[in-house]
Structure 1
Amino acid sequence: MPTEVALLESRALRVEQMGRVDVLDKVKSLVMLPDGIHVRTEDVARYFEVSTEVIKKVIQRHRGEMEENGLTLLRGAELRGFHRDMLSLWGGEESESYPQAATQLTLYTRRTVLNVAMLLRDSDIARCVRTYLLDAEEDLRAGYASLDRRVTRVESCLAGVGVALQELGPVLTRMSHRLDSLDRRLEATNQVVGAMSVRLGDISEDIVRMDARMDDFVLQLKDLRRRRKRR
């Protein structure tokens, strides 16, 4: 698990934590400018309860890293346009109290403020932010470890199932052969039953013909008896 010192000294470790801007509000409310995106140097200093000079020194030592995480310096037309946007968002009487920088303005995003928290040594608020980050990292690692153990158990179960299926393979093959044999015997039986059905149909027709002949014979016999009586 990374330590607080490692987080202070390793840029790679800080990059890994840069998405955890939610930690800032868990420690202390960060008051943003009206656009909800930026804060100024004095706002960052107020959040970490240090002087603006301390924040400026952190920026000077790590400007490249800060700029990668949202640090912006406005001058000239960009600065005037930004002020106009803020005044329009501020609105009403509050716009009169909005402080406007004369020549330049340094702006920070939440990512930049989190970056400062991982670099600022002499601030209790910054230390609290780092503690939250490291605790969350530990919880995440514990979660991954638990998940890994569950996956291992599942893999072990699946391995057992695989062995069982391998053992059942020959049994299933024999059952398949027997079912095929039964299918063939059933088909032969169906053919015999079909032939018997046809034969029975023929016998039935023979019986009908014999019945008709018997009827004719009986009629002839009766007729012969009547003739004998007349004589």
Structure 2
Amino acid sequence: MPSEVTLLESRTMRDEHQGRVDVLDKVKALVMLPDGIYVRTEDVARYFEVSTEVLKKVVQRHREELNENGLQVLRGDDLRIFQRDILSLWSDNLGTSYPQAATNLTLYTRRAVLNVAMLLRDSDIARCVRTYLLDAEESGWRAGDASLDRRVTKVESHLDTVGRALQELGPVINGISVRLDRLDRRLETTNQVVGAISNRLCDLSDDMRRMEHRMDRRLDDVSHRLSALERSQRRRKRS
């Protein structure tokens, strides 16, 4: 399991935990603005029980990372629009007037607050948040290990079942193999018989052709004899 120091020094590790904003309320109640989306610098400092100056130094050192997790600074028209939109919500929910900022207003999302918790070293609340994150991660790993063990056990059980089934199928498969061998031998014998018949048919075909030639020659002889006989008879008649 990664240590708290790793979480403080590794942005990659912090990014892996950035979605666990639910941890904030489990450690301590976080006071949001009436819109339920943003938190002011004063409220973030109050949550972590540090001064606003300490919080601002953390923001200065890690501005880019915090900006990616929702930190923003409103000025000019953006600030006036935000104050106008939130003024009624503030009065309705808290019954007091909204403390308007003079020139700018820094707002934190819950992700940004969790990001601060993983960066702020000198805060017992931030330390509790980090401990909670790491403990939850370890519990998840243990649950994952237990789940993996159960899966391995289930696979081993299935393999045993498959092994027994294969053992039972062994004689059946052997019998099928013997029958296939017999069929192969029969097919080979049948092929030999068919080959012999084919050769015999070829021989008969040759015999038939020879007989046809003989018949043709005999018919020619008979035809010649008949022609000679007719010529002889015609000569006798003339004489």
Question: Same fold judged by TM-score > 0.5?
Answer: yes
Residue type at the aligned position of 2:122: D
Larger radius of gyration: 2
Query: Match of 1:44?
Result: 44
Runs of 4 or more, structure 1, over 3 Å off, are: 91-96, 170-176
Query: Match of 1:182?
Result: none
The 5-angstrom pairing of residues 67-146 of structure 1 reads 67-92=67-92, 94=94, 96-146=96-146
**Identity level (%):** 62
SS of match in other structure, 2:128: helix
Change (3 A) 1:121 1:81: same
Change (3 A) 1:93 1:114: closer
Q: Is 2:23–2:132's contact at 8 Å kept on the other side of the alignment?
A: yes
Q: Is 1:87–1:95's contact at 8 Å kept on the other side of the alignment?
A: no
Residue type at the aligned position of 2:80: R
Computed over aligned residues only, the root mean square deviation of the Cα atoms, in angstroms, reads 2.0
**Which digits, 9 at most, give the CA deviation of each residue in 1:108-149, with x for residues without a partner?**
011100000000000010001111011101101111111111
Query: Match of 2:214?
Result: none
Q: Is 1:14–1:118's contact at 8 Å kept on the other side of the alignment?
A: yes
Query: Match of 2:199?
Result: none
Change (3 A) 1:94 1:129: closer
Count of aligned pairs between the two proteins: 177
1:7: how far off?
A: 0.5
1:62 and 2:62 matched: yes
Measured in 1, the distance between the counterparts of 2:164 and 2:92 equals 77
Change (3 A) 1:164 1:92: closer
Measured in 2, the distance between the counterparts of 1:108 and 1:175 equals 76
TM-score normalised by length of structure 2: 0.70
Query: Match of 2:161?
Result: 161
Q: Is 2:91–2:97's contact at 8 Å kept on the other side of the alignment?
A: no
Structure 2: which 5+ residue stretches go unaligned? Answer: 177-239
Measured in 2, the distance between the counterparts of 1:172 and 1:48 equals 74
Change (3 A) 1:151 1:63: same
Measured in 1, the distance between the counterparts of 2:23 and 2:3 equals 17
Structure 1: which 5+ residue stretches go unaligned? Answer: 177-231
